[in-house]
Amino acid sequence: MTEKIAIGVIRTSHGVRGEVKIHSFSGETDHFFRLRRVELRSSDGERIVPDLAIESIKTHSNSIIVKFAEIATPEQARTYNGYLVYVDKKEAAKKRRDEYYAAELCGVRVVYGGDERGTVTSTWENGDVTMLDVETIDGRTVIVPFIKKFVGPVNVRARTMELLVDWILE
């Protein structure tokens, strides 16, 4: 079984033919043009729409416009607003050296000054910033913006992430 990974999120419907506007998590779009089929999942993971066929694809501003064969109207398209677009990991944008997929951050130990302070339990997008849900060692859930001001080196292989400030977990 191949591992699936989220590569984008449906923002809204587009046009009158049932197209959807997708925001690419990587900021890259080339890999979308090689796709033939995708899976959609609601943000809570409760609803899954497997094996949707891509009829056409184009770019528009900073978004990707996709027409799925199974979606014919703007009303149908709008029901998928907020759904995540999943593909086999091998079809996602290629990682450069020292890059990682947001999904790879789940389960990473959060460390400050050499001491473990918590674990990343999930990631989500808030506009232009990836947000991390961190379960602290005392059981609280804290939201940490994944920006250089707060988060230092990440070692996906060692499953650790260095915090630059400890007050963010208060």
pLDDT at 6 over 80: yes
Tens of pLDDT, residue by residue over 135-167, are 999 999 999 999 999 999 998 888 999 999 989
Q: Which numeric CATH code is attached to 102-169?
A: 2.30.30.240
* Half-sphere exposure for 89 (CA within 13 Å, toward CB): 10
Q: Which CATH architecture has domain 4-90?
A: Beta Barrel (2.40)
Select the more confidently predicted residue: 112 or 130.
112
Tens of pLDDT, residue by residue over 54-99, are 999 999 887 899 999 999 999 999 999 989 899 988 888 777 776 7
pLDDT-based confidence at 2, cuts 50/70/90?
low
3-state secondary structure of 108: coil
Which own/partner pairs from 157-164 qualify as long-range (CB within 8 Å, at least 24 positions apart)?
A: 159/107, 159/108, 159/109, 160/108, 160/109, 160/110, 160/111, 161/105, 161/108, 161/109, 161/110, 161/111, 161/120, 162/111, 162/112, 163/110, 163/111, 163/112, 163/117
For 20, phi then psi, to 5°, come to -125, 150
Query: Residue ranges per domain, the chain?
Result: 4-90, 102-169
pTM of the model as a whole: 0.70
pLDDT at 39 over 80: yes
Distance CA 143, CA 48 (A): 26
